[in-house]
Amino acid sequence: MLMITLPIVFPIAKDLGFDLVWFGVMLILLVEMALITPPVGLNSYIVHGMTGVSLSQVFRGIIPFFGMMIVCLVILYAFPQVVLFLPSIMK
């Protein structure tokens, strides 16, 4: 997913003035969310195949994790300093 979208989205984010470290963290979080949610949730299908648990049960088990990922996404969007704290120390 990143190989296809990043060459298109990265220059746009750079031209719009987004901090690229923050943008990278947000993009990775969004990709993680895409990998667990239906209909394309590849990681969910892998868990289903390895454990034998029904797919509906796997998707029900994802709900709390997905909810916390949304909370994390909102926090990182509202307070980008959380992401940029360590890189700012290293400069």
The 10s digit of each residue's pLDDT in 49-61 is 999 999 999 999 9
The 10s digit of each residue's pLDDT in 28-72 is 999 999 999 988 889 999 999 999 999 999 999 999 999 999 999
pTM of the predicted structure, to 2 decimals: 0.83
Domain chopping of the chain, boundaries: 24-90
Q: Is the pLDDT of residue 21 over 90?
A: yes
Name which of 67, 83, 88 is nearest 27 in CA terms.
Answer: 83
At residue 91, the pLDDT reads 72
